[in-house]
């Protein structure tokens, strides 16, 4: 490695250094405030160093990593989302009596793994980033371990994620055996055009196994069964992290591995992803109708949103990159805000997750009810929110790619989703005399207030004036 490599890798180095710093601090003297400060400083330094990385981009660091504008854009998005989760977790963990500093070590390591996935250019770095993210999530989901539900969710994720990692690794081995290559930029076009009639049994088998591994992490149908249980069992700030950073980095990986346009219509990969997209949109929205737990509703909702993203992903063309990236930003803001409200109303011993816990919230805390309403309406894709603009771009991309069947399913399933989103809104504004909730509105921490206020402003700004962000995306990806 040379000095240029070190400069372009500053974002990764900043996050890794912060994790080591928190670890050393815990070994010498435990300080929750110190761990929080170092973690936030590390993520801030990572974001601040992105312009230096951009100056040297595109730059290949060994065959494993490609630091290009695409990686810079997605790493910035992941770092910002991770910082939001850290801010939300501050007030949540402050009420926990056990050891809290290790939470931030795991959060930093998971973010480091996610950023490696966004910049990976080789099967080796792909697997290392995936495992660093997954292993950290095992601990985060079971944290704090004082409640059986957290441990149960962690064990479920451990078993299923280990199985999916085995599929992913075996798939890589088969693709290497069939192609003799592990570089992602060379393998993607080859896999995107392969057909069932081609003489490529090893490539087809390896591709199928990789789709299983990636599909599990992305939580799309039929690999989605872990999602509602883990979302419900994990601590609220960790659920926000899983729903945003963990899924966002897999979207970045998909775009890196199979750039839009490389997947030919009628190829085996196109057929598989089209079926997954349709099933995810329909199953996610239909199953959410049956839920009375807010975290499970948002879990099934996230399955549907990943299906929406796959429509633009399959459409191809430059607009596909823009549509997927902008929708992912809108999804991040809306999801972080939704789980942010759940987080500030929850504690390590009791979480506000049932619909009845939110009945009449407007009469107890109008501001929190307003924030939650804005986030839910954005997830529903209603006008004047970021979600509406994002979904509009997905539809335009799908129409441009002549994916009429998927576009129709997207519109119809979104209409179904309106029911359970509006169901949450109705509960929030129920008459105070009808409220039966025993969940008190706790005093919000400064970090919680600032984070929710910033997310709400960003949500409205993206819905009213999306042009600057769209231009930035197009500039970075051009």
| Contacts for 79 with CB less than 8 Å, ≥ 6 apart | 11, 15, 43, 46, 47, 50, 111, 115
Beta bridge partners of 293: 354
Return all residues near 473 (Cβ < 8 A) that are at least 6 apart: 73, 321, 322, 325, 326
SS3 call for 294? helix
From the list 301, 302, 181, the residue with the least C-alpha distance to 251 is 302
Which of 377, 382, 419 has the alpha carbon at shortest distance from 289? 419
105, 26 Cβ separation under 8 angstroms: yes
Q: What is the pLDDT of residues 184-232, one digit of tens each?
A: 877 766 766 665 445 467 888 888 898 899 999 898 988 888 899 999 9
> Tokens 């085996």 map to which residue?
268
Find where tokens 């850290």 sit.
86
Quote the tokens at residue 21.
């710093």
Q: Is residue 388 part of a domain?
A: yes
Q: What is the pLDDT of residue 199?
A: 45
Residue 16's CB: how many other CB atoms inside 10 A?
19
- What's the CA gap between 223 and 219, in Å, rounded? 6
What domain range includes position 297? 260-478
353: three-class secondary structure by DSSP: coil
| pLDDT score at 189 | 67
C-alpha–C-alpha distance, residues 53 and 8, integer Å: 4
Instruction: Give domain status of residue 383, yes or no.
Output: yes
Geometric angle at alpha carbon 174, from 171 and 179, rounded to 5°: 120
Question: Which residue in 129, 101, 98 sits closest to 115, CA to CA?
Answer: 129
Q: Using alpha carbons only, give the angle 261, 264, 268 rounded to the nearest 5 degrees.
A: 135
Q: CA-to-CA distance for 106 and 92, rounded, in angstroms? A: 16
- Judge residue 349's burial from the number of C-beta atoms within 10 Å of its C-beta, 0-12 exposed, 13-18 middle, 19 or more buried: exposed
Tokens 């359970």 — which residue? Answer: 420
Name the packing angle between helices 366-380 and 318-344 (round to 10°): 150
Task: Indicate whether 362 belongs to any domain.
Answer: yes
What's phi and psi for 120, nearest 5 deg?
A: -70, 145
Task: Give the closest residue to 69 by CA, choosing from 218, 316, 250, 256.
Answer: 256
Q: Which residue has the tokens 């910002």?
A: 80
CA distance 174 to 169: 9
Q: Decide if 287 is inside a domain.
A: yes
pTM score: 0.93
**Residue 420 domain flag:** yes
Domain count across the chain: 1
What is the pLDDT at residue 348?
66
Examine residue 248 and state whether it is found in any structural domain, yes or no.
Answer: no
The predicted pLDDT at position 198 comes to 53
Q: What's the CA gap between 7 and 158, in Å, rounded?
A: 35
Q: Is 395 helix (H, G, I), strand (E, B) or coil?
A: helix
3-state secondary structure of 293: strand
pLDDT at residue number 407: 93
Token reading at 301: 């909702």
Query: Do the beta carbons of residue 155 and residue 137 sit within 8 Å?
Result: no
Phi, psi of 61 (to 5 degrees): -105, 100
CA 320 to chain centre: 18
Strand, helix or coil for residue 264: coil
Beta bridge partners, 61, equal 65
Question: How many angstroms separate the CA atoms of 367 and 362, rounded?
Answer: 8
Longest dimension (CA), the chain: 69
pLDDT, tens only, 324-374: 999 999 999 999 999 999 988 887 677 788 888 888 888 888 899 999 999
**In-domain check, residue 444:** yes
Residue 350 has, within 13 A of its CA and on its CB side, a CA count of 8
- In whole angstroms, what separates CA 199 from the centre of its chain? 36
Sign of CA dihedral 297, 300, 305, 311: negative
pLDDT along the chain (478 residues), means of 10: 83 94 92 92 94 86 88 94 92 80 93 93 91 92 78 88 90 86 78 57 84 90 89 91 93 85 74 92 93 92 94 84 92 94 81 84 88 94 91 91 90 92 91 56 72 93 92 84
352 neighbors 345 (Cβ within 8 angstroms): yes
Distance between CA 93 and CA 98 in Å, rounded? 9
Contact between 369 and 428 under an 8 Å Cβ cutoff? The reply is yes
Q: What is the pLDDT of residue 167?
A: 92
Cα 158 from Cα 135, distance rounded (Å): 8
Residue 269 lies in a domain: yes
């Amino acid at each position: 490695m040379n000095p240029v490599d070190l400069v372009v890798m500053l974002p990764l180095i900043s996050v890794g250094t912060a994790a080591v710093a928190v670890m050393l601090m815990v070994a010498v003297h435990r300080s929750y405030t110190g761990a929080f400060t170092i973690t936030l400083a590390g993520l801030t330094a990572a974001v601040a160093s992105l312009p230096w990385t951009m100056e040297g981009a595109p730059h290949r660091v060994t065959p494993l990593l490609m630091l290009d504008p695409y990686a810079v854009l997605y790493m910035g998005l992941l770092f910002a989302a991770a910082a939001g989760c850290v801010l939300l977790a501050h007030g949540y963990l402050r009420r926990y009596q056990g050891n809290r500093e290790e939470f931030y070590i795991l959060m930093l390591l998971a973010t480091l793994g996610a950023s490696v996935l966004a910049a990976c250019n080789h099967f080796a770095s792909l697997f290392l980033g995936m495992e660093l993210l997954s292993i950290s999530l095992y601990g985060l989901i079971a944290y704090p371990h004082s409640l059986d539900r957290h441990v149960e969710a962690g064990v479920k994720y451990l078993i299923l994620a280990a199985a999916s990692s085995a599929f992913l690794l075996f798939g890589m081995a088969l693709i290497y055996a069939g192609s003799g290559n592990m570089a992602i930029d060379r393998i993607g076009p080859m896999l995107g055009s392969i057909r069932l009639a081609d003489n490529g049994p090893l490539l087809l088998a390896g591709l199928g196994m990789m789709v299983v591994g990636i599909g599990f992490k992305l939580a799309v149908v039929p690999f989605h069964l872990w999602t509602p249980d883990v979302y419900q069992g994990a601590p609220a700030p960790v659920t926000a992290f899983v729903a945003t950073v963990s899924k966002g980095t897999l979207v970045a990986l998909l775009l890196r591995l199979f750039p839009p346009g490389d997947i030919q219509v009628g190829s085996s990969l196109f057929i598989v992803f089209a079926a997954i997209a349709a099933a995810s949109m329909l199953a996610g929205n239909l199953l959410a109708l049956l839920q009375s737990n807010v975290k499970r509703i948002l879990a099934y909702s996230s399955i549907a949103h990943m299906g929406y993203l796959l429509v633009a992903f399959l459409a191809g063309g430059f607009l596909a990159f823009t549509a997927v990236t902008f929708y992912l930003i809108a999804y991040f803001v809306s999801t972080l805000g939704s789980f942010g409200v759940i987080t500030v109303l929850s504690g390590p011993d009791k979480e506000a997750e049932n619909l009845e816990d939110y009945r009449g919230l407007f009469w107890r805390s109008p501001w929190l009810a307003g924030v939650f309403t804005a986030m839910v309406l954005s997830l529903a894709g209603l006008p004047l929110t970021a979600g509406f603009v994002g979904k509009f771009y997905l539809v335009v991309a799908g129409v441009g790619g002549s994916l009429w069947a998927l576009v129709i399913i997207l519109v119809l399933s979104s209409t179904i989703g309106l029911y359970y989103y509006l169901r949450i809104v109705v509960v929030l504004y129920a008459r105070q005399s009808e409220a039966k909730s025993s969940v008190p509105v706790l005093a919000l921490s400064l970090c919680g207030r600032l984070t929710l206020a910033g997310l709400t402003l960003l949500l409205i700004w993206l819905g009213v004036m999306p042009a600057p962000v769209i231009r930035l995306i197009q500039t970075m990806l051009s």
